[in-house]
Amino acid sequence: MINRAYYILPFLFAFQILGLNPMHAQTKVYVVSQNIIKSIDWKPGMILLINAERAEIFCSANTSDSIEVKVTITAKHETKKKAEADIEKMKCLNELKGKKVFLRNYIELSKNDSRPESDIKVVYNIKVPENCAVDISNYFGTIDVKNLNSKLNINSEFSKIDLGNINGKISVKSTFGDISANTVNGELQIESNRSDIDISNFLGILDIKSKMAQIELNKINDITEIKIDAEKSKIKINTVDFKNIFFDLDLYKVELDKPEAMKLNFSKNEKETVSASFNSGKSFPQINIKLNIGTLSIEP
């Protein structure tokens, strides 16, 4: 069952520029809101798929065996009628097909309709069983996922991504959207373009392919393997104990900063190219780094 609620709120904004009287610069903005609420029974093997535009997506674990969805759509405009008309153009689809639950928001225009002039925002607040697989696509917005124990797939552009307390197999593809992850256990694969990456307290297997990024790995301890293949990037790795990690480095035009006690075994050490290893041949967790132009900092 879907429940819809509508709200209209007038907002008054005043601003002052170059000493002008604020009373001459007042603009009245109307905000029209629509809520869509749905509960879907969940069974093992079901997957949630979200396809969103200009959305803020918040997804976390639910204690019950159901997918709880609340979608809030808002439209802001100086004209009340325009805000009301524009919000009707933003549609939110939710349907169940077999074991797939689909959520999608999109602009729908009639034959003679113009695109919305209002500032429209869509906010998803979603609760899923912790073992529910989730697949999210978003264009312009944010993605925040917490406390899952399942497979997670994210594909986004111009969207900030925040992951926390997740166990499972995770795949993230991001263009122009920074990625942060804290307390992730399992397999994490990241493919990014012009997206900074900040990861703390990671356990398991990490694979990063990145272009033009600032990559920071903090509190790296109980890992299995880390692979980083980056271009024109800055990489900073903070380990709990670098002496118990096998490092394999392939660097081109890279400024390297490492602990003095980290004595590298070079297979190539030329002016612009370095191939080297540390703790080679030992059965330690591995960190493999291939970096083409940038900086690499390894801290104890």
Domain ranges of the chain: 1-173, 178-300
Q: By the 8 A CB rule, do 28 and 10 touch?
A: yes
Rounded Cα–Cα distance for residues 90 and 106 (Å): 6
Which range has the worst mean pLDDT, 7-16, 62-71, 129-138, 200-209?
7-16
Rounded Cα–Cα distance for residues 241 and 250 (Å): 21
Nearest to 40 by CA among 2, 66, 70: 66
Which amino acid does the sequence have at 176?
Answer: F
* Per-residue model confidence as pLDDT tens digits over 70-91: 999 999 999 999 999 999 999 9
* Per-residue model confidence as pLDDT tens digits over 187-243: 999 999 999 999 999 999 999 999 999 999 998 878 899 999 999 999 999 988 899
Q: Which residues pair with 190 in a beta bridge?
A: 172, 208
Which two tokens mark 135? 């697949």
Q: Taking all residues of the chain, what is their mean pLDDT, rounded to a whole number?
A: 90
- pLDDT at residue number 14: 38
Asked whether residue 273 carries a pLDDT value surpassing 50, the answer given is yes
Count other C-beta atoms under 10 Å from residue 300's C-beta. Answer: 13
Nearest to 222 by CA among 245, 248, 243, 247: 245
In our burial notation (b when 16+ CB lie closer than 10 A, e otherwise), range 254-283 reads: beeebeeeeebeeeeeeeeebbbbbbeeee
Which two tokens mark 145? 């996922």
- pLDDT at residue number 26: 65
Which range has the worst mean pLDDT, 5-19, 110-124, 127-141, 269-283?
5-19
Confidence of residue 169 (pLDDT cuts 50, 70, 90): very high
Nearest to 172 by CA among 147, 148, 149, 197: 197
- Cα dihedral 131, 189, 165, 152, rounded to 10, equals -30
Rounded Cα–Cα distance for residues 167 and 150 (Å): 6
Asked whether residue 95 carries a pLDDT value surpassing 60, the answer given is yes
Rounded Cα–Cα distance for residues 240 and 200 (Å): 12
